[in-house]
């Protein structure tokens, strides 16, 4: 079995005529969306760098990684909202804790 984002990375490499002899151990997401298959959001990494990046982004107020529903729950809620044309900002806000909802925007 191949995880979908790893398969997307492989297809992208082959489409760009890259020679792939072995699959990398880790293909990281830049967007923190577990169901994302966009090759421009994927890159080869290491388990250590992937974990380090996750920890750093997890502490950013409003980060998708702080969503109380978890990454998959957030992605599914956004998908369902898009299907029904619901307000995406409200759906995103629903998954955030008080600290994230009350955090003032700095920019």
pLDDT tens, residue by residue, 1-56:
778 888 899 999 999 998 888 889 999 988 877 678 899 999 999 999 988 988 88
> What gap in Å lies between CA 40 and CA 30, rounded to an integer?
9
Residue 8 lies in a domain: yes
- For the chain, how many residues are written? 107
Same domain, 35 and 85: no
Same domain, 22 and 74: no
- pTM for the full predicted model: 0.60
- Band (107; pLDDT cuts 50, 70, 90): low
Token pair in block for residue 31: 């967007």
Same domain, 78 and 53: no
The DSSP bridge partners found for residue 27 are 44
Residue 104 lies in a domain: no
Same domain, 53 and 72: no
Total number of domains constituting the chain: 2
Q: Which of 72, 66, 75 is nearest to 96 (CA)?
A: 66
pLDDT at 15: 92
Same domain, 4 and 43: yes
- What burial letters (b/e) apply to 49-71, b meaning 16+ CB within 10 Å? eeeebeeeeeeeeeebbbbeeee
Residue 56 lies in a domain: yes
pLDDT at 27: 92
Residue 36 lies in a domain: yes
* Residue 73 domain boundaries: 67-98
Please report which helix (H) or strand (E) contains residue 11, including its range. Answer: helix 4-15
């Amino acid at each position: 079995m191949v995880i979908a984002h790893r398969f997307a990375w492989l297809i992208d490499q082959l489409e760009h005529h890259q020679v792939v002899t072995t699959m990398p151990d880790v293909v990281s997401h830049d967007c923190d969306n577990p169901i994302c298959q966009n090759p421009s959001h994927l890159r080869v990494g290491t388990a250590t760098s992937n974990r380090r990046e996750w920890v750093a982004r997890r502490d950013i107020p409003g980060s998708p990684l702080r969503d109380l529903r978890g990454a998959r729950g957030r992605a599914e809620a956004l998908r369902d909202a898009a299907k029904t044309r619901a307000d995406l900002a409200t759906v995103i806000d629903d998954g955030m804790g008080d600290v994230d909802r009350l955090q003032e925007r700095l920019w």
